[in-house]
Each structure stands twice: as C-alpha cells, then as structure tokens.
Chains A and B, each alone.
Chain A
Amino acid sequence: MTLLIVILVLAAGTYGFRYAGVTLRDRLTLPPAVQRLLPIAAVTLLAALAATAALTDAGGAAGIARPAGVLVGVVLAGRKAPFVVVVVAAAATAAGLRLLGVP
C-alpha cells in the first residue's frame, strides 16, 4: 500500500511540474527581458545537468572513466562529429577505461 502511494504521489508531482511548466507559459505574461532569458535558462539547466552527471556521483566525485568519456565526446562534438559518434565514443572510452581497471 505504501509502495503504491509512493509511486502515485511521485508520479502526480512529477506530472504536475511538467504540466505547470507547459501551461504556465501562456498564462504568465512574462516581460520581454524574462522571455529572452527562458532559452538561456533552459540551456543553463541542461549544462548543469550534464556537468553534474559527468563529474559527480552520489554527492562525491565520479572517478576518472566517466569524465574522460564525456570529455572525448565533447571534443568530438566540438569538431562537428556526428551525434552518434559523440555518444558511442563517450561510452566506449568510459567502458574501455573501466576494462583497464580505471575507476
């Protein structure tokens, strides 16, 4: 019973955040300066998400293999490598380093 409630409350709250964002966009009359900031804020959130996912793990440092893999991916992306290559190279680098015993 507790389990079902946990799932339903988490699901409802998460959906609430999503729906609120999507519908508030029209209801709020945002000043032009804030409207210009929205895409910048969204990119900043994605950058923060990627940076924390790349560098941290459970509140501590993420080790070496994962950041190294992400770095390889970013360098390739900077050189206009196709997206698939970026993602596969990042994963392969991290997996390869771990195979060699790098944390």
Chain B
Amino acid sequence: MRTAWRTLDPTVARNVVTIAAAALVVGLSFGAIAVASGLPAWAAITMSLLVFAGGSQFMAVGMLAAGNPFAAVLGGLLLNARHLPFGLAVADAVGRSRAERLVGSHLLIDESAAFAMAEESPAERRSVYWFTGGLLFLSWNTGTVLGVLLGSAAGDPATLGLDAAFPAGLLALILPSLRDPATRRAAIAGAALAVLATPFLPAGLPVLLALLGVVLALGVTS
C-alpha cells in the first residue's frame, strides 16, 4: 500500500485535498447538528468512524431525533446500497489481498469511487482510490469531532455553498467518461430517471433506479 503513493499525480492529489477540505466542513456540520438534535457526542463520533457515509448519517440523525430508529436504519441502508455496484466497479483499485479488501472496503465512498474511475491506469486507479478514501476518512472524522466540540458555532455548510460543491465535483470527475456516446446516453437517461422519481420514492431508491437508465439507453435485454 505504501508504494501506491508513488504513482499519485500532484494535480490529482490537490483535487482530492479540495474535496477533503469541503468534507471536513460538512463533517463539522454533521457533528454540530447531531449534538443539537440530542445525540450524545460519542454517538456522532462513532457513527462517522463506523458508517462513514455522510448522507445516511444525516438521515439517521434526523430519524433518531424524530423517534424512529427503524427508519434510521432502513433509510440509511437504502441510501448506502449504491456502494455495492460501486464496489464492483472499483474492486481492482481496492486490491487483491484480504487485508486490502477488509480495510479498503470501508474507504469506499462516492468520492473514492469517482476519483478512481477517472483514472486510466490500474496503478493510478489504486493510488487515487486509497488516497481519496484515506484522506476523506481523516477529514470527515476530524470534522465530526470539531463539530461536536463547537456545537452550534459550527454554522451551516449551505451558507458556504458546499451543497453545490459536491455535485459539481462529481460531475467534473465523470465529464471525461461522458465523451463516450454509450456512457453519455446511459448517464443522461439514468440521471433523468432518478430526478423524476425523487418526489415519489424514498431517498436512495431513485439513484438505484438510474441503473434502469443503462438498460434503457443501451437496449441490453439479456
């Protein structure tokens, strides 16, 4: 794993640091919101360490505050089901050994998948995957601890426009792949399906429904 950093491009590393900085601020607000909605500090910190998936953590905090622990688990799991297809797509970047898979699986998030898939060579995919997953794990958890300590002084990440930063970053990362006509058709169909389905389906399902866009756009039936 240590040798993997050798192939890390400095520009890519800087890009990852940008997203990690944004994740730190969002983690900060997660910690603050969790404590503000009545969660003990240990719970917010444990959740960030063990779940390490922002969207589902915000949802779980909301559902717990509303007194619905079942919805917190089910909603969170539905939101995180996308990690399975992401895992299939970036398994080569995680590595082959048992230790790499046990540790590397936990570092599988939207950002590590997106940054890894934006690379061509297997060596680069690997180093970028581990660098992104590792750095975001650090920044997300550091942010959470700071947020728990700062409480309401942490502020709202929407004031800084960070809710726009993440989709823009993801789209910038997949833009080169969209030059391929088949991928572009599938991505546009899938994204449209997901957005249209959002008002009608519980969170998490619309994104999974996008996979139907692949089938529709490419006409694969078998």
In contact, B220 and A45 (Cβ under 8 angstroms): no
Residue-wise, chain A 14-35 has the 8 Å CB interface mask toward B (1 for contact) of 1101111111111000000100
The CA-CA distance from A51 to B188 in the complex, in Å, is 9
In contact, A65 and B210 (Cβ under 8 angstroms): no
The CA-CA distance from A99 to B191 in the complex, in Å, is 29
In contact, A73 and B198 (Cβ under 8 angstroms): no
Given known contacts A14-B53, A18-B83, A73-B172, A39 and B161 CB-to-CB distance under 8 angstroms: no
CB nearest neighbor in A for B166: A53
Given known contacts A2-B69, A14-B80, A91 and B165 CB-to-CB distance under 8 angstroms: yes
Q: Chain B interface: which size bin? A: 35 or more
Contacts of A40 in B (CB 8 A): 182-183, 186-187, 214, 218
Task: Give the size of the chain A interface in residues (CB under 8 angstroms).
Answer: 73
Contacts of B170 in A (CB 8 A): 46, 49-50, 53
Given known contacts A22-B108, A48-B193, A6 and B160 CB-to-CB distance under 8 angstroms: no
Is B134's CB within 8 Å of the partner chain A?
A: no
In contact, A15 and B106 (Cβ under 8 angstroms): yes
In contact, A45 and B85 (Cβ under 8 angstroms): yes
Is A100's CB within 8 Å of the partner chain B?
A: no
Q: Chain A: residues with CB nearer than 8 A to chain B?
A: 2-11, 13-15, 17-26, 33, 37-56, 59-60, 62, 65-70, 72-74, 77-78, 82-84, 86-96, 98
